[in-house]
Structure formats: structure tokens, C-alpha cells
A and B are shown apart, each in its own frame.
Chain A
Amino acid sequence: MSKKVLVVDDDPDVRSFVVTVLEENQYIPLVAQDGVEGFEMIEKQKPDLVILDVLMPRGSGIRLYRKLKTDETLNQIPIIMFTGIALRSFLKSQKALDEFNGGEIPRPDIYLEKPVEPEELVAAIKKKLG
């Protein structure tokens, strides 16, 4: 059975690129255009994988990532971060939020900095989903 992959990104060109890559590789694409819509989709659709941008309107990928990792029912969903924000900044932000909120959020398994070639994205998806 094909697996569902949710792409959360505010850029329609990026969504279109990822959807094409997913369809060509027999995954079922789902799309959301910001952090709020992304969380609603995740709760409703329970995707097998989330491809997550960081800098978006209505809730960034940084907050959504934390929300998912601290949610007992959703924290096992694998996440690929797919963004123009540098990994270094992402990790620093998580550290700042860890200090502020207490607790420690695990690092993302895969962090892809845009742009990437389709092969690189497919390899990352296959690594998580097989």
C-alpha cells in the first residue's frame, strides 16, 4: 500500500516540485501551506512522513517540529526538514526554546537545505520509509 507523505511549505513552486517527486515514486502526496494547516492535516491524515519547511506564515516549521515531537500520539512520525534556513540556526533556535521551555527536543534525522535535486529528496524519503 502506498504511503502518505505530507509536504508543509508556503511556496507553491516547492509544493509542486515535491508533489511531482512523490507521485513519480508512488507515494501519496498531501499538502499544507503553513504550520497551522500542517498540524491539522497531520492530526487528521496521520501521514507516514512529513516534509517540513521552516519559514512560513501562521506558525513556523520550528514550532511545528517541537509540537510534533512533544505530542505522544504524533512523535513517531518521521520528519524531513526541507528549508532555506541553515541547520545551525535551526539547532540554535531549538536550544533557545529548550532553555526557555525546559526539556530537550531531539534533532531532526534528516535536514535538507534548499534547493536539492530530486534524487537527493527521493533518497531521503526512501531512507525514512523504505
Chain B
Amino acid sequence: MEIKKLLFVTKFEDLCYSALNSLLALRRAALEHVIFLNVIERDKVAMKRGVGYLKEEEVKLKETANIRFIDWAENLFEMGLEVGAYMEVSSLIPEILRVVEIETPDLIVIGHSHKGPLEQLYAGSDVTELIRRTQVPILVFKHMMEDNIVPEKLFDRLLFATNWSDTCPKAVDYIKGMKNAIGELHIMHVVKDSALKSRDTHEVQKVRKAERKKLDDLCDELEESGINARAHVYVGDPQREIEKAAKEYQASMIILGSSEKAAVLERWVGSISKNIADKSIFPCLLIPGEKNI
């Protein structure tokens, strides 16, 4: 699956041109169309007692977005890319889903929202909500105020963490679609501590060997597609180990599947994908499963 069209959702303070610029490496793969979306949350212009609907504020916010988008669009148009833009007063997730329906993008790029722990517990993060309701892969950028500068070469060193769930084949297919943009790919699987509980060293080594074999087979498959891939087996808590591997291999992005089961459970226990997308300092590409609606 190639990324020909991407939807770039921005509030400007969370995602700016440097993030967009880092995505332009995808032109080497297949990117030809970028859609901008700025959603002005309703409460910013809502009816206020004694004031009414804040039309002037809406105009100001829309024009502010328009000025930024024109500037960005000019740069992209000059490169020969196709560009479109939406600026709407709405609610974020429904508006993203509406635009996804109209434009059918191959990738959604979104900044990481900053909701407090209580808000997240009851409402879930925007990313969680979005991944539950769309089949389109989502790339989560982090807030610029954190000490996380957008990597200039976003596709230089990708870390694909797989748990061999049903999303794995879809993720592999998606990665193959980006082959001309990818520098190198590190594929990892984290063996949970519980899987190594045995008195027999031989049994424990067999687990590692089996996982390594599966990873090597996947590397071979990807190398046949022209992607330089390396396999890594880690042991321990998946969230911690994925973050560790990303640091060790200086990953420019983490790629994760997000299964339907996890989407159902995460409100209560927190899925690995969601936690990494929320907490990691690395940009995260989340690939939803096929029945993830």
C-alpha cells in the first residue's frame, strides 16, 4: 500500500511546517497529495452569555489558519504536489472522520494532544479515539514544547515493533509502500518475562530462537522488497523495551500495530500502542487492524 495522499491535522502549536517538511521524504515513495485540516473547536467561538456567537473570533481564527496554509501550500505547490485545505468550526474527531471520508487519505498525521490524566481516563486521548474509529494509519507527532525536535529525516531509521498480531501483515504491506523513503528498518519483538519461565535453559533459548527466526524471515521478505532490515529480540515489559530499542538504534519513528482487542481493552488497562503513542518521545505510526471500527 503506497502513501499517495496524506491528511495533515494541525492546531499549529502542535504541528508546524518542520513536521510537514520531514514528511516530504515520502515523495520518494509515492506521495503526491497533501490535505491540511485545521479544526477550530466549537468552544472557542460558542455562544456566550451577553455576547452571542463569536463571529469575529471565528473569522480571525479561520483567516489565521488560512494565512499559514497558503504559505505552506505555496511551498508544496512549487514542488509539484497537489494540496487541499479545510478550516472548520467543529469537533476534532468527527471533523477528521468527515474529511477522511471525502478525501480517502492513506495516512493521517496528527499532533499529540495534551489532556490531563483524568480527562484521558474518561474521554480517552484524541489518538485513541481516532484509531478506534478509522482504518487509516495514524502518525502521531509529539508536542513541540517537549524536548522532542522533529527529526529532519523522519524515515531514516524506522523501528517496527511487532507482537505478531493480525495487524502485522497490514503493517508490513504499509512499510513496503514506503520503501523508497526508508533508510533502514529495525524490526523487533519483545518476549514477555512470563514466556521465559522455565527451569530448563534449553526451553528458554528455544523461545528466543523461534522469535529470531520469525523476525529473520520477515527481514528477508522486506529485503526482497528493497528495504534494508535488521531483526532484534528483546525481553521484558514491551512498552519499556520498545522505548529502549528506539533509543539504542536512534530510531526516527516507531511503527506499531493497534489491534481491535487492544482498542476495546485500552479504556480500562491501556494498550501498549496507545501508551507508547501517548508517552514516547518518538513519533509513532499506528497501523489499525482490519476490523477496527
Q: Taking beta carbons and an 8 Å cutoff, which residues of A are in contact with B?
A: 10, 34, 54-60, 62-63, 84-86, 89-90, 92-93, 96-97, 99-100
Interface residues of B in 49-91 (CB under 8 A from A): 66, 69-70, 73-75, 77-80, 82-86
Residue B173 CB within 8 A of the other chain: no
Q: Can you list 8 residue pairs at the A/B interface with Cβ under 8 Å?
A: A54-B73, A58-B84, A59-B82, A59-B84, A89-B74, A89-B77, A93-B80, A99-B80
Residue among B35, B66, B83 with the highest chain A CB neighbour number at 10 A:
B83
A28, chain B: closest CB distance, angstroms: 28
Per a CB cutoff under 8 Å, which of B69, B75, B78, B102 touches A55? B69
Distance, CA A4 to CA B35, complexed state (A): 31
Distance, CA A86 to CA B78, complexed state (A): 11
Is A90 within 8 A of B77, CB to CB? yes
**Hey, which chain B residues are within 8 Å of A97, CB to CB?**
80
Is A62 within 8 A of B35, CB to CB? no
**Hey, which chain B residues are within 8 Å of A62, CB to CB?**
77, 82
Is B103 within 8 A of A57, CB to CB? yes
**Hey, which chain A residues are within 8 Å of B77, CB to CB?**
54, 60, 62, 85, 89-90, 92-93
Is B73 within 8 A of A85, CB to CB? yes
Is B78 within 8 A of A93, CB to CB? yes
Is A55 within 8 A of B103, CB to CB? no
B69, chain A: closest CB distance, angstroms: 7
**Hey, which chain B residues are within 8 Å of A99, CB to CB?**
80
Is A55 within 8 A of B85, CB to CB? yes
User: Contacts A55-B69, A85-B73 hold; do A96 and B80 have CB atoms under 8 A apart?
Assistant: yes
Interface residues of B in 139-165 (CB under 8 A from A): none
Distance, CA A97 to CA B81, complexed state (A): 8
Distance, CA A85 to CA B73, complexed state (A): 8
**Hey, which chain A residues are within 8 Å of B102, CB to CB?**
57-58
User: Contacts A55-B69, A57-B103 hold; do A63 and B82 have CB atoms under 8 A apart?
Assistant: yes
Distance, CA A92 to CA B80, complexed state (A): 8
Distance, CA A90 to CA B76, complexed state (A): 11
**Hey, which chain A residues are within 8 Å of B80, CB to CB?**
93, 96-97, 99-100
Known pairs A55-B73, A62-B77 / 5 extra A-B pairs, C-beta < 8 Å: A55-B84, A57-B84, A57-B103, A96-B79, A96-B80
Chain A residue with the shortest CB-CB distance to B83: A60
Per a CB cutoff under 8 Å, which of A60, A84, A90 touches B82? A60
Per a CB cutoff under 8 Å, which of B70, B74, B78, B84 touches A56? B84
